[in-house]
Amino acid sequence: MRIYPQLFLRDLKVSMKRWSDFLTGMIMFILVAFIFPLIAGSDQDFMHRIIGPVMLLSSLLASLISMQNIFKPDLINGSLEQLVLSRHSLNGLIFIKILSYWISSSLPLVVVSSLIASAYYVTGIDIIKVMLTVLLSTTTLVNINSLAAALTLGVRYPGALMTLILFPLSLPILIFGSKAIEYSILGLDSSGPFYFLTGMMLLSFSLGPIATAFAIRISID
């Protein structure tokens, strides 16, 4: 069972080496979030109204930037094939890979989102709620990302195709995520959207690795 922590640490180390890829995602996140007030106006009410959609949209775009690096480098250097051939369950290995990918690509976004929230004049406990929303929605998005990346492993230029696969599947997360932020800022009861996001996270972490592992087996054999 030692393979799981080993793989986890190995993936984290590799992504530290490729830090520029993940930095690009984070820059994208900040850029999109900061460009909205600049082009659409920056009075407080308006900012409070758009922060939900902006947060979700910028994390979606950030994930689009970095998602090509989930499996492609491992496919090229051959380590993905070794994972498929190993005697351990591929579902578990993929789960670990997705988790470490989430830590290197999305955990920084969660931290940065607190700064962006305060730049959007959000105060107090609402900042925590914004961070929680970004955390819950990126964990789901990461699973959809990895499924889309695995399905398009055999495609030479997968960019547009990945987008086409990713957008419809991530729509519920976008809607409920921005509702969660909107309700918390308006002072309404936001537990409903948060429950939904948590449910989606559990669903995607239980089905996502299985579907991704299946898709990887298809593209490798």
Partner 1 sequence: MDLKQIYKYGSPPQYFKLSLKSENWFLIPGIFLMIIGCVGGLFIAPPDYQMGDAFRIIYFHVPSAFLSMSAYAYMAGAALIGIVWRSNVAFSVAKSIAPFGASFTFLALVTGMLWGKPMWGTVWVWDARLTSEFILLLLFLGYILLHLSIKEQKKADLAASVLALTGVINLPIIHYSVVWWNTLHQASTISKLSSSSITGDMLWPLLVMIFGYGFFFWGVICRVVASEILKREKRSKWVEQYIKELR
- Considering beta carbons, is residue 194 or 196 the nearer one to partner 1? 196
Distances (CA, A) of 105 to 36, 154, 187: 22, 23, 31
* Contact stretch for partner 1 (CB under 8 A) within 34-42, 60-68, 116-124, 148-156: 148-156
- Considering beta carbons, is residue 52 or 158 the nearer one to partner 1? 158
Gap between the Cα atoms of 194 and 197, Å rounded: 5
Q: What DSSP state is assigned to residue 152?
A: T
Residue 84 binds to partner 1 (criterion: CB under 8 A): no
Q: Mind giving me the DSSP string for 60-127?
A: HHHHHHHGGGTTHHHHHHTHHHHHHHSSS-HHHHHHHHHHHHHHHHTHHHHHHHHHHHHHTT--THHH
Q: Which of 96, 200, 201, 209 binds partner 1 (CB under 8 A)?
A: 200
Residue 202 binds to partner 1 (criterion: CB under 8 A): no
Min separation Cβ 164 and partner 1, Å: 5
* Contact stretch for partner 1 (CB under 8 A) within 44-52, 85-93, 153-161, 183-191: 153-161
Residue 169 binds to partner 1 (criterion: CB under 8 A): yes
Q: What DSSP state is assigned to residue 154?
A: T
Question: How many helices (H) and strands (E) in the chain?
Answer: 10, 0
Give the x/- contact pattern for partner 1 in 94-133, rule: CB under 8 A: ----------------------------------------
Collapsing DSSP states into helix, strand and coil, what is residue 14?
helix
Asked if 163 contacts 64 with a C-beta cutoff of 8 angstroms, the reply is yes
- Considering beta carbons, is residue 99 or 200 the nearer one to partner 1? 200
Chain contacts with partner 1 (rule: CB under 8 A) = 147, 151-152, 154-155, 158, 161, 164-165, 167-169, 171-172, 175-176, 179, 196, 200, 207, 211, 214-215, 218-219
